[in-house]
Amino acid sequence: MKPHWPVAALLALTGLNLLDYLDRQVLAAVLTPLKDELHLSDAQLGSVAAAFMLGYFLTAPIFGWLGDRLPRKWLIAAGVIVWSLGTVLSGQAHGYGALVCFRVLVGFGEASFGTISPGWIADLFPPARRNNAISIFYLAIPIGSALGYIFGGIMAARYGWRTAFLWAGVPGLVLAGVLFWLREPARGESEPATEAAGEAPPATEASGLYRDLLHYPDYVLVIAGYVAQTFAMGGFAFWAPTFLHRVHGLDLEAAGKFFGSSLVLTGLTATLIGGFLATTWQRRSATGYAWVLLISAVGAAPAAFAAFALHDLAASKAALVTAMFFLFLSTGPVNTLILETVPVLMRARAMAASIFMIHMFGDLWSPQFVGWISDRVGDLRVAALWVLPIALVVSAAFWAWYLQHVRSRRAAD
């Protein structure tokens, strides 16, 4: 493979990943004018958001199965085209049912891209450089999400909410064409010869394809910690601005701006620092990735507790930023480990299963659970204080178990 091809492919996929998260958040930026024009209730708006999530994580296992068997370039390109069309069509919706269908289409397309792209990147770069590449790819999460809020808000204010969806979707249709100029790497191309030759365990039933992942304890422990962390992050992201408004008296606009800017700053810096730190550490010790995961959870838990417990606004905001920093610290290594703790020919399924698990048992219902506790005790502070930090402690426990598992295996070897 020519030296420039891996970098070109990484840049193209990272650009598409940025558009992926931008398209997700445009909806949140245009809720008010969309609600007024289509005469929707808040419950209907919430179900529109849920429609995307269901289209995303429920179809991810299908693309995981396909991604381990079919040419990935075509699957990824098809996913980009489908989600971009879904975004454009969202701006043409004239009723609740049509909007729900188009958001499901967006989730369907993004499931193909999100499931298969990390495995392609893993095959472009050898283990020593892979985590840095994965970390760069996932920088798109905070940047794309923030741009979705900003771009959607500006476009909706100046040209209307329909135009926001139109111009959010068109770039994906254009950039998808770049994929056809890239050479797809062979599965396991960048692995040592002994690893590239490895095959996934045989499975004759559809359920067995994913059940085989349970044969890899490292993968199971990484995902268990990731589910608990995502549970905390989902509730954290949903309730933090409201917490600042309701408990500390910060107006909603100021709370949203603070949280959005903090998201970009911490997401960008922590993802890069965590990714490159983990790569350097892993070169010196086989436990480098595991240590960064553990530090992420152990650092985030007390910071999150302090953020909700402190009565001083400035101190609470500082603790929130600290918690967000530690949460993003593990972005690169956790996704690298999802790919590296299973055989090469199971990578798409491993990523698909992780997407399904972290959403199904993580951020899909954690905001509602925190809200339910808040309604019962009559205090959002108490609900957030005891639910979210505890989830991070659970995450730390699973990742400490994974670290011990790696150290024990290393000692035995």
Q: How does pLDDT run across 213-235, given as a tens digit for each residue?
A: 888 999 999 999 999 999 998 88
Q: What is the CATH number of the domain that holds 69?
A: 1.20.1250.20
Is 198 inside a domain boundary?
no
pLDDT at 373: 82
Do both 261 and 359 map to the same domain? Answer: yes
Other beta carbons less than 10 A from residue 279's beta carbon: 24
pLDDT at 202: 42
pLDDT at 193: 56
Is 201 inside a domain boundary?
no
Q: Are 363 and 226 in contact (CB under 8 A)?
A: no
Q: Are 23 and 106 in contact (CB under 8 A)?
A: yes
* Distance from C-alpha of 116 to C-alpha of 118, rounded to nearest angstrom: 6
Do both 243 and 351 map to the same domain? Answer: yes
Is 193 inside a domain boundary?
no
Is 94 inside a domain boundary?
yes
Do both 213 and 181 map to the same domain? Answer: no
Do both 24 and 161 map to the same domain? Answer: yes
Do both 8 and 69 map to the same domain? Answer: yes
Do both 367 and 283 map to the same domain? Answer: yes
Do both 70 and 216 map to the same domain? Answer: no
Is 303 inside a domain boundary?
yes
* Distance from C-alpha of 91 to C-alpha of 170, rounded to nearest angstrom: 12
pLDDT at 298: 96
| Domain termination residue (choose one: 187, 220, 240) | 187
Is 247 inside a domain boundary?
yes
Please enumerate in sequence order all residues whose Cβ is within 8 A of that of 282, keeping only pairs 6 or more positions apart, or say none: 131, 288, 289, 333
DSSP three-state, residue 259: helix
Closest CA to 26 of 97, 79, 86, 77: 86
Do both 33 and 177 map to the same domain? Answer: yes
pLDDT at 364: 79
DSSP class of residue 184 equals P
| Domain termination residue (choose one: 134, 153, 187) | 187
Closest CA to 55 of 35, 74, 27: 27
pLDDT at 252: 64
> Which amino acid does the sequence have at 157?
A
pLDDT at 413: 67
pLDDT at 274: 93
Q: Are 255 and 384 in contact (CB under 8 A)?
A: no
Do both 162 and 310 map to the same domain? Answer: no
Do both 172 and 281 map to the same domain? Answer: no
* Distance from C-alpha of 315 to C-alpha of 25, rounded to nearest angstrom: 29
Do both 216 and 314 map to the same domain? Answer: yes
User: Which residues of the chain register pLDDT less than 70?
Assistant: 1-4, 42-43, 192-208, 252-253, 413
Do both 340 and 258 map to the same domain? Answer: yes
Q: What is the pTM of this model?
A: 0.82
Is 341 inside a domain boundary?
yes
Please enumerate in sequence order all residues whose Cβ is within 8 A of that of 254, keeping only pairs 6 or more positions apart, or say none: none
pLDDT at 393: 96
* Distance from C-alpha of 335 to C-alpha of 36, rounded to nearest angstrom: 40
Please count the structural domains in the chain: 2
Structural tokens at position 307: 């953020």
Q: Sign of dihedral through CA atoms 213, 218, 219, 222?
A: positive
With residues binned 3-state (H G I as helix, E B as strand, rest as coil), the percentages for the chain, rounded to 5, are 85, 0, 15
Is 3 inside a domain boundary?
yes
Instruction: Determine the structural domain holding residue 349 and report its residue range.
Output: 209-413
pLDDT at 4: 57
